[in-house]
Chain A
Amino acid sequence: MARDVRDCAIMLEAMAGFDAKDATSLDLPVPNWEAGLSGDLKGKRVGIPKEYRVDTMPPEIEALWQQGIEWLKDAGAEIVEVSLPHTKYALPAYYIIAPAEASSNLARYDGVRYGLRDLPEGAGLQDMYAATRAAGFGDEVKRRIMIGTYVLSAGFYDAYFTQASKVRTLIARDFEQAWATCDVLLTPTAPSAAFALGEKSADPIAMYLNDVFTVPSSLAGLPAMSVPGGLDGQGLPLGLQIIGKALDEQSVLNAGLAIEQRAGFTARAERWW
């Protein structure tokens, strides 16, 4: 979203706030996050969730995570180990709930009012829907619409969507319990370095697996940020993730700043695209 933590605070401040036309938005004052920025973490406790230590994680990422722990210690934080026992269910739950919502959210792209309309000769309404949506959506979108439609279907709803919703509640509860002993969590952003565009299109599961560390905070509705921490052997950037309590963006930004100040990450892609 931004080149550094300060820009991120500025951007967030500009975007945040109550929206009367969004029933899910909170009517709360927007904090002055930029003014509150401080890389000094004295008195803060940083949780390290043990379930994020997955077997297949490359040693480089493991090492960066350890490095991150040292940086935050250096910034004055106390490190504690925490447990988020339902972590392994987060990815499957996410890939049920998100496609379910997407399948419904995208129903409005039906060729009736706006956007693409593909109306083959002699087509009826159903044919127009099929042709328009087949032509207009890409493979990954179609895949998610089909998954979402499937998990909401009669006979499958309870087994998939209801179950995933319960998992979501348990994940949120995991975080709640973690906040009893820490203020923010530190994890790797992804279990592997960035892959090339289109590289994993043929293997969507592998692609989805890359989200394993970032979906739990999304399911729980918590603020999280990824800060670049270093490069792997191929020169690809690796990130560290900070997850905070609901509405405690300040602590997330501050821990991110502490990492940024120590990582000295200056790598720039030759071309940003």
Chain B
Amino acid sequence: MTDTKYTIRGETGDWEVVVGLEVHAQITTNAKLFSGAATAFGAEPNTQVSLVDAAMPGMLPVPNRECIRQAVRTGMAIEAQINRWSRFDRKNYFYADLPQGYQISQLYHPLVGEGAIDISLDEKNPDAHGKRIGVERIHVEQDAGKLMHDQHPTRSYVDLNRSGVALMEIVSKPDMTSPAEAGAYLRKLRSILRYVGSCDGNMEEGSMRADVNVSVRKPGEPLGTRTETKNVNSVRFVMAVVEQEARRQVEVLEDGGRIVQETRLYDPDRNETRSMRSKEDAHDYRYFPDPDLLPLELDEAFLAECRASLPELPDTKRRRYEALGITPYAAAVLTAEVEAARWFDALLDCGAAPVAAANWTTSELFGALNRTGKDIENAPVSPTQAAELLGLIADGTLSSTLAKQVFEIMLETGQGAAAVVEEHGLKQTSDTGEIERVIAEVMAANEDKVADYRGGKDKLFGFFVGQTMKAMGGKANPGVVNEVLKKMLG
């Protein structure tokens, strides 16, 4: 649970917020849900449309096995009930972007039943600040096409490339009570989808979008009337919608008004939600089972294959890292994104010591990626190269300061760590004779400070370390320097 409960302070007291999310996630497949047409993003309008997607007379839908497989794997990843018998229904409504005049969806018997997603509100201590958010169901459905209003002064055009693309609708329970929880849920769901590989989670390209259900109530009272804000396309916007919509509802209620169940839209430029249509003029979708499709019946072999193909999921991976001695924070950071986790696993596979590897990856590598604006998939250093660098630190060849220098050169040149050390002579010196000689020089140049130190100014020790390291170009082994200094300063 959250340490401090999120409430909205109104004139009549504190209000609680209740949030549920319906997330539409585009299933990562080459072909559409019921046709063989391609699904690549950004294609020229109407170049990825089969006769089925354009609803030509007599065309029939045939389910794409891969879409079903991905939805089942997603269900398994959130430990949900997988329904071995499910069915497609038609959701009937007229719109120019909907060629069939209905969307094939699942209302009465969805593919995936109840599951749960564990979220964390503090990545420094994920387990201590966790919360379990229920998932009501996941069903599979077709996407609609897209209207283009900016192509002609008086006409609207229709792009059917997206028509028939497979979506998962992932419906949460109203278990979230703050913008932070809604944000954490969406981030965690996105992370799981990307681990599973069932959705690329790309919210900018519309592969993932959320309908945000918000209501408010006084503590202890029954659920209030909710509004639904449609098609919110970033984590930040979802959090903003929860906050703005809750505030708006509190204002309406405290002014003596009532909340109407309605669909709203979020305007990011003005950071406010606006009414789109109320329940009174909502569609009657006339759902009924699609007679063109048989019920989906999943056999044990199919389910076993789905289960066997699941990767290690973020929470399991995080706990495995923690068991290796990695801090909960570093483990959380390393497992949040599947690409980072994959990279780090490869580093461990190269034999790197886990704790040192985790610290180095989260500070040095992530720092460098941030600086250069690169993502980890295009990291300029491979796990093998990083393992080599970490090996040179572990065996004393490089101090941490030298390691940073070596890493910088590696980033610039793409060379391996050992080659950089060799070429630039960056090896750490543990040669006591050499260190003694330099220290003697430092002491000779600072006789007054030596006297002060011997007179009791202990703090000057650091000064001598610094001077020695500087004189040796940072290549001295700091442990040896300390030891020799203590002896020589007496």
Contact = CB atoms under 8 A, between A and B. Distances in A.
Nearest to B95: A125
B55 A157 contact: no
Interface string B59-103: 111110000000000000000000000000010101110011110
A92 B294 CA distance: 24
Contact of B62 (A20, A103, A129): A20
A111 to B, nearest CB: 10
A94 to B, nearest CB: 13
A153 B286 CA distance: 5
A104 B92 contact: yes
B94 A113 contact: no
Contacts of A101: 291
A100 B158 CA distance: 28
B102 A107 contact: yes
Q: Give the bracket for the number of chain B residues in contact with chain A.
A: 20 to 34
B56 interface: yes
Nearest to B93: A107
Contacts of B289: 165
Contact of A23 (B56, B95, B101, B292): B292
A112 B92 CA distance: 16
Contacts of A100: 288
Given A21-B62, A23-B63, A104-B288, A114 B92 contact: no
Select the residue from B59, B90, B288, B291 with max chain A CB neighbours within 10 A. Answer: B288
B60 A22 contact: yes
Nearest to B289: A165
Nearest to B282: A154
Nearest to A165: B289
A123 to B, nearest CB: 13
B288 A157 contact: yes
A129 B95 CA distance: 9
Given A112-B96, A153-B286, A24 B293 contact: yes
A149 interface: yes
Contacts of B63: 23
B57 interface: yes
A21 B60 contact: yes
A124 to B, nearest CB: 11
A107 B288 contact: no
B101 to A, nearest CB: 2
B313 interface: no
A21 B51 CA distance: 11
Interface of A: 20-24, 100-101, 103-104, 106-108, 110, 112-114, 125-126, 129, 149, 152-154, 157, 161, 165
Interface of B: 54-57, 59-63, 90, 92, 94-96, 99-102, 158, 284, 286-289, 291-294
13 contacts: A23-B63, A23-B294, A103-B92, A104-B288, A107-B101, A107-B102, A108-B57, A112-B96, A113-B55, A114-B57, A152-B288, A157-B287, A165-B289
